């Protein structure tokens, strides 16, 4: 869900980045420090922080090379299987309602006591210790 509750547009945008990012991960994990048996090309210098240019040279190569494409296909299948083992994002509706009600109370409490009066200082100090120790 987007920060402004505009689900469709921002969710699609998020998915696009997620897809691009995961694809990059996949390419790097599949080819980093490996040699293509067909072209003898070595992808030694490739790393996650490398430029899009370097990644493009790799993806261009994979597009033309049957051996590398097969390797990528295998890795993609493993990645998909692993992805399925990781919990999907979820929040039960009943808990969302409970959360919203507790949150409203919390925000209200803090808006009334944003600046503690001297008699409250002990309480605030205890509260800080409780949460931050």
The count of residues interacting with other proteins (CB under 8 A) is 48
Query: What mask, x for binding other proteins by CB under 8 A, covers residues 46 to 65?
Result: --x-----------------
| Choice from 9, 12, 14, 37 touching other proteins (CB under 8 A) | 14
- At 35 the three-state DSSP class reads strand
In DSSP notation, 52-65 reads: HHHHHHHHHHHHH-
| Choice from 9, 69, 74, 126 touching other proteins (CB under 8 A) | 74
Part in contact with other proteins (CB under 8 A); list of ranges 17-25, 38-46, 57-65: 17-25
10, burial (CB in 10 Å: exposed 0-12, middle 13-18, buried 19+):
middle
């Amino acid at each position: 869900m987007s920060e402004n509750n505009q689900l469709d547009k921002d969710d699609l945008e998020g998915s696009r980045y997620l897809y691009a990012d995961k694809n990059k991960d996949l390419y790097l994990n599949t080819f980093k420090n490996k040699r293509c048996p067909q072209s003898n090309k070595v992808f030694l210098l490739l790393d996650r922080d490398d430029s899009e240019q370097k990644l493009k040279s790799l993806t261009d190569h994979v597009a033309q090379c049957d051996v590398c494409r097969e390797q990528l296909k295998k890795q993609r299948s493993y990645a998909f299987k692993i992805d399925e083992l990781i919990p999907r994002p979820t929040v039960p509706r009943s808990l969302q309602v409970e959360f919203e009600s507790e949150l409203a109370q919390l925000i209200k409490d803090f808006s009334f006591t944003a600046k503690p009066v001297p008699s409250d200082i002990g309480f605030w100090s205890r509260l800080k210790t409780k949460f931050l120790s």
